[in-house]
A and B are shown apart, each in its own frame.
Chain A
Amino acid sequence: MALLEIHDLRAAYGHVPILHKIDMHVEQGEFVGVLGHNGMGKTTLLRAIMGFVTTKGGRIVYQDQEIQRLPTYRRARMGMSLVPQGREIFPNLTVLENLTVGILGKKGSLDRIDEMLEYFPRLRPLLDRRGGALSGGEQQILAIARCLCNHPSLILLDEPTEGVQPSIIHEISEVLQKLQGQQNLTIVLVEQNLEFIVGLASRIYTISRGVLDTEIPIDEIKDSAMVAEYLGFGA
C-alpha cells in the first residue's frame, strides 16, 4: 500500500508555474530518490508535499487521506517531516534545545533524544553549543536528528549533502541506511549528488522543468553511468 500518492499535482509561485502534472507514489519503507539539476522543481516538490507552497491542482494522499488542503503543521503532526535545504536549524538555541523543540509533546522526550544521540554520537559533546556555532556538516546532522525526534513515518530530505564535507556525507549515508533498516522509515531524498542518491535509493525519479519524467528501473540504479545518461550528466 502506498504511503504517499501524488496525482496530477501542480504548483506555482504566484503566477509562475513550477510543477506540472506530477504523479508519484512512495511505498511504506521505501527509499525513493528524486534527481534533477538546479531549478528543476525538486525543492518545490517537497515544499508542496509539506504544504508551504500553494498547489494549483491535483491531489496528495498520505496514509489514505487527502492532505493538499491541510496546513503545514497538521501534515507534520501526521508524521511527515522535512529536512530543508540549508538545514535551517535554530541558531540561537542550543543543540539540546533544537532537539527538544523537535519533539511534539513531552512524553519520552529525553529517551528519544538519547536514542538519536546513539545514532549521531557526534552531537553528544555539542549539546550545550548554540546551533549557529556548529559547522555546516554538524548542522545538517542536527537537522536530521531533530526531524527524527518526532518519530516521523515519512522523511523528506532536501539536498542533505549540499556544502557538507565528504566524511559527514558518509556518516549521514550510513545512519540513514541504518535508520531505514531498523525503524522501517520511508524516505524521499532530493539530490544532485549522483553517488549519494544511487547509494541509498531503491528507486529514482528524475525531474526536469517541473515534470517527473522518468522513473529509473531498480536494476539500472546501481549503474551510475546509466543514471547519468538519463539525466544527461554524462553528455
Chain B
Amino acid sequence: MLSNISKDWLGVGFVTAIGLAVLIFVPMLFDLFEVLQMTKYVVLSLFALSLAYIWGFGGILSFGQAGFFGLGGYTFAVSAINMGQTTIPFLMAIAMCALFAAALGYFMFYGRLNDVYLGVVTLVVTLILWKLINHTAGPEFIIGKARLGGFNGVPSIPIMTLPWQPDMEMEPSQMFQYFMAILIIVYLLLHFLIKSKFGRVAISIRENEIRTSLLGYDVRLYKLWIFTIGGAIGGAAGAMWATYQTFIDPNAFSLEVSAKCLIWVMAGGVGTLFGPIVGVIALEYLSLKLGETSFLNNLIILGTILMFLVLLLPKGLFPTFRDLVIKLWQRARGGTSGERPS
C-alpha cells in the first residue's frame, strides 16, 4: 500500500517540480514572443485538463468541451468590460460554466442518456451556442457596456490584473506565472480528487457503472459532479484565453476547438493528467513549426502525424513513454508485473 502511495506522490512531486521550475525560469530565460507562446500552451493545457478529467477519470466523453471554453470566455469578457476589473469576472466565468454544466448534466445523467447520445448532446449544445453567438452582431445585443459583436467577436477585453488590485495590469511574464500557478494548483487539486474516495468511485463508474451502483453509489450524482468540475475548469481556461488574447469570437465555441481538445487528450494519453499537457505542448509546437514551412499544407502533415500517433501509440505519448520506463526499470530489477504504474 505504502509503495503505491509513495510512487504516486513521487510522480506528482516530479511534475509539480517541473511546473514550478517552468514558472520561475521561463520568464527569465525566454524572450517575450516565446513567453506569450508558452502562456498559450498553459491556457490550452488547462482546457485539456478539463476534458482529461471527465473523460479519463469519469468516463464521460464530451464532444462539446468548447462550449464551456467559449462560455467562460464570453462571461469573463462581458463582466470584465462592465466591471473594469478581472478578479470577480474570472470567478464569475468559473461559476457560470459550473452552473451550465450542472444544468446540462442534470438532464443528461438523470435522463439516463447513454454514452453515444451524451456525446451527441454535448456536441449539439456547443454548436447551438456557436450559432447563437454568431447571430449577435446587431447593436441590440449589448450587455451593459459590452457588445457581443456576433461573428466580429468582443474586442478590448481587459488584461488580467493582480487579484483584487484592478489598477495593476499584469505584464506578459506575470500573466504567464499567474496562469502557470493556476495550472499547477488545478493539476494538484485534480490529483487529490482522483486519489480521494470520490475519485476512486469515479474511476469505478468509468470502468463499470452497473457494478458501482450495485455497491450503493448514485452513479448519476457522481457523474453530475464530475461533469460540473470539468465544466468549471473549461470555463476558467476560456476566461484565461479571453484575457490572454484581449479578444474573443464565436470560434471559441467551434467544433475545431472541441476536436483539438479531444486530440490533445488522446495523443497525450487518456487516463492521465500530465499526458494531455504533453499533448498540448507537442501538438501546438508542431503546429507552430509546420506553420513556418511552406512546402506542404501543415494541416495535412499534422493530420498524418496524428493518424500515426493514434494507430501506433493508442495509449498516448505519455503513458507509452511511462510504461516503457517502468518496463525497463522492472527488467533491470527482475521485478514483478501487475503492480499499477504510478
Contacts from A to B (Cβ < 8 Å): 50, 52, 71-73, 76-77, 81-82, 84, 88, 90-94, 96-97, 100-102, 104, 106, 127-130, 133-134, 146, 150
Contact = CB atoms under 8 A, between A and B. Distances in A.
A71 B200 CA distance: 22
A92 B340 contact: yes
A100 B200 contact: yes
Contacts of A73: 213-214, 216-219
Contact of B3 (A88, A106, A128): A128
B200 A101 contact: yes
A77 B3 CA distance: 33
Interface of B: 1, 3-4, 197, 200-201, 203-204, 207-208, 210-219, 337-340
B340 A101 contact: no
- Which of A73, A82, A104 has the largest count of B CB atoms less than 10 A from its CB? A73
Nearest to B211: A88
A76 B340 CA distance: 29
Given A128-B340, A129-B339, A101 B201 contact: yes
Give the 6 A-B residue pairs with the shortest CB-CB distance, closest first: A133-B338, A76-B216, A72-B213, A77-B216, A73-B213, A88-B211
A71 B207 contact: no
B214 A84 contact: yes
A102 B214 contact: no
- Which of A88, A106, A146 has the largest count of B CB atoms less than 10 A from its CB? A88
A100 B1 CA distance: 12
A128 B4 contact: yes
Nearest to A76: B216
Given A72-B214, A129-B338, A92 B3 contact: no
Contact of A82 (B208, B214, B217): B214
Contacts of B215: 76, 81, 101-102, 104, 146, 150
